[in-house]
Amino acid sequence: MSTTSDDSTIGALIAAQRAHWESTLAANPTMYGAEPSEPGRYATNRFCAEGLSEVLELGAGQGRDTLAMLEAGLEVTALDYAVAPLADIADAALSRGMKERLMTVVHDVREPLPFPDAGFDACYSHMLFTMALSSEELAALANEVRRVLRPGGLCVYTVRHTADAHFGVGRSLGDNLYENGGFVVHFFDHGLVDRLADGFDLDGVAAFEEGALPRRLWRVTMRRR
């Protein structure tokens, strides 16, 4: 069951998301568990197998996949707009002797990425693209990812999609965005996956599930041309 919102309500909801994430992550120190996710393991194996060592992670959260990538010997730049979890990841990396291969960056991906062109071998992002970002903002973000990757670099991102049980539930914000329980989620369709692959070769779209609902997600892999 869904309701619709006007533009001012949508703007206020989007603006409140950062504080909502900060407080939610602070209240749930292992919100998604401490073990690496399925796409995190896939991306780590794939990057290592291809010799891709400099990784940009977007929306690192509490770092379940960041730490696994560091453990595998990768160099990770972990970006998120929530400050405290990034500091916790840095502390965990320090205590495990991996801090020299980690950089943390506080940044909102609705702004251009604060990195030079072609500085990374790979980009990984579990459930950041499925946040409160319009299709226009996502297209701009994908373009930024393309810019900061080296030619041949891989991008692995995951998103909830239109077969997820929560698609169509809660408050409709338009553009396949729904607010439910304070969280805004962008549910992807295949058209949006294709749109974000502009300038990349699409390597694969794999369906998987995570969590208790379960969330229904796609793991998208694409290679920068």
Ligand X SMILES: C[S@@+](CC[C@H](N)C(=O)[O-])C[C@H]1O[C@@H](n2cnc3c(N)ncnc32)[C@H](O)[C@@H]1O
**Please, which residues have CB within 8 angstroms of residue 137's CB and are 6 or more apart in sequence?**
109, 110
Q: What is the largest CA-CA distance in the chain?
A: 50
185 binds ligand X (CB under 6 A): no
Rounded-to-integer distance, Cα 193 and Cα 16, Å: 26
Residues 121-180 that bind ligand X (CB under 6 A): 126-128, 131
Identified binder of ligand X from the candidate list 32, 41, 75, 150, rule CB under 6 A: 32
Site string for ligand X, 83-112 (x = CB under 6 A): -------------------------xxx--
81 binds ligand X (CB under 6 A): yes
Identified binder of ligand X from the candidate list 36, 80, 144, 217, rule CB under 6 A: 80
44 binds ligand X (CB under 6 A): no
Q: Residue holding tokens 């290679």?
A: 223
| Cα dist from 178 to 42, 188, 195, whole Å | 28, 11, 20
| Cα dist from 181 to 80, 164, 178, 187, whole Å | 21, 16, 10, 15
Q: How many residues sit close enough to ligand X to count as binding (CB under 6 A)?
A: 18
User: Smaller CB distance to ligand X: residue 128 or 173?
Assistant: 128
Q: How far is the CB of 225 from ligand X (least distance, A)?
A: 26
Rounded-to-integer distance, Cα 33 and Cα 17, Å: 21
Give contact residues for ligand X (rule: CB under 6 A): 21, 32, 37, 59-62, 64, 80-82, 108-110, 126-128, 131
